[in-house]
């Protein structure tokens, strides 16, 4: 059965998954990059960015696991672009260059239609205007029996959690405070929605939490 999985989703100690003021200079909002510092030294991230070396161990294992058995991904528009409203810049094809790290079909939630974009390395961006359920249906078909990764951002994860559509979620709580930004869990009662913490392990860089939906 195809699962909807969240992996490597970083939040601050005070619960923010992104800072305020997203723009091209600050893809994750002002200060938001700090919550992802556990990723950058890992061997898996080095391999993804075409470099040798990198650290191994718990952080590396958690980051690498997020790409296993994934057949499609879902993104909110803010994860794809800093712009809002109509698509006025057709040259913008995401933050990742010509060969994005997904290597699968990616379904982007938006209110504004845009033709699909085929990229290098097997990534094709599809733009979905019909909402989270249609995006999940299309991603599940595209995944061909593999799982679907819900890659963010905060508002998108909140929507899928509130609809009880997320099967399992890996959170990485970074030892930093943002003070403001996009809060992940405000107004969401995970217990009433049927979620529980199945595992937690700490490293010097992050505390990793596995939250899963009870059957």
Q: pLDDT tens across 98-142, in order?
A: 999 999 999 999 999 999 999 999 999 999 999 999 999 999 999
- Residue 137, token pair as written in the block: 């249906």
State the number of CA atoms in the 13 A half-sphere of 61 facing the CB.
6
Q: pLDDT tens across 134-156, in order?
A: 999 999 999 999 999 999 999 99
Whether the pLDDT of residue 76 is over 90: the answer is yes
Please give the model's pTM, rounded to 2 decimal places. 0.95
Q: Going from the N-terminus, what domains does the chain have, and what CATH number goes with each?
A: 4-20+28-85+98-213 (3.40.430.10)
Q: pLDDT tens across 23-38, in order?
A: 888 888 999 999 999 9
- Residue 121, token pair as written in the block: 């390395």
Q: According to the model, what pLDDT value does residue 147 have?
A: 98
Which residues neighbour 127 within 8 Å (Cβ) at sequence distance 6 or greater?
108, 110, 112, 113, 114, 115, 116
């Amino acid at each position: 059965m195809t699962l909807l999985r969240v992996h490597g989703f970083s939040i601050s100690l005070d619960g923010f998954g992104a800072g305020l003021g997203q723009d091209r200079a600050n893809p994750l909002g002002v200060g938001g990059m700090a919550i992802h510092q556990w990723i950058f030294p890992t061997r898996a991230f080095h391999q993804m960015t075409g470099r040798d070396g990198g650290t191994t161990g718990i952080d590396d294992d958690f980051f690498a696991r997020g790409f296993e058995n994934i057949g499609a991904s879902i993104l909110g528009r803010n994860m794809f672009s800093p712009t809002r409203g109509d698509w006025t810049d057709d040259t913008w094809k995401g933050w990742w260059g010509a060969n994005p790290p997904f290597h699968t079909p990616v379904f982007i939630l938006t209110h504004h239609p845009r033709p699909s974009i085929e990229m290098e390395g097997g990534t094709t961006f599809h733009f979905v205007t019909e909402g989270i359920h249609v995006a999940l249906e299309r991603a599940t078909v595209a995944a061909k029996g593999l799982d679907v990764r819900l890659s963010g951002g905060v508002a998108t994860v909140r929507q899928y959690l509130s609809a009880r559509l997320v099967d399992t979620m890996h959170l990485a709580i970074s030892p930093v405070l943002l003070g403001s930004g996009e809060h992940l869990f405000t107004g969401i009662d995970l217990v009433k929605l049927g979620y529980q913490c199945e595992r937690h392990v700490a490293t010097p860089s992050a505390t990793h939490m596995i939250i899963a939906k009870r059957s």
